Amino acid sequence: MLENLEPPKRIRPCKMRTIMERMDQSDVDILKAALADEVKWKDWVLYRALEERGIDVSPNVLTKHRRNLCSCRTVNA
């Protein structure tokens, strides 16, 4: 009866996902392209560019999202 007993998955909102949900689709597309281009857009460089535009996100958040270590991995799994 309890063979498949597991705790419920806890899904926390990813900060990058939350930010993108508030953006226009064109901005989301631009940000996704920047996130995908780790050569041109190092975490620190992208962080500074976003900060200059009033988007509050840390380089650590960018790294986790890029490496699929955030809650988006759980949602998309």
pLDDT above 60 for 77: no
> Token match 């759980």: residue?
74
Cβ neighbourhood burial of 52 (10 Å; 0-12, 13-18, 19+): exposed
Please tell me the pTM assigned to this model.
0.76
> Token match 């955030």: residue?
70
11-69 pLDDT tens trace:
677 899 999 999 999 999 999 999 999 999 999 999 999 999 999 999 999 999 999 88
Specify the amino acid at residue 35: L
Q: How far apart are CA 6 and CA 31, in angstroms?
A: 36
Q: Which residues of 15-39 are buried (b: 16+ CB within 10 A; e: fewer)?
A: bbeebbeeeeeeeeeebeebbeeee
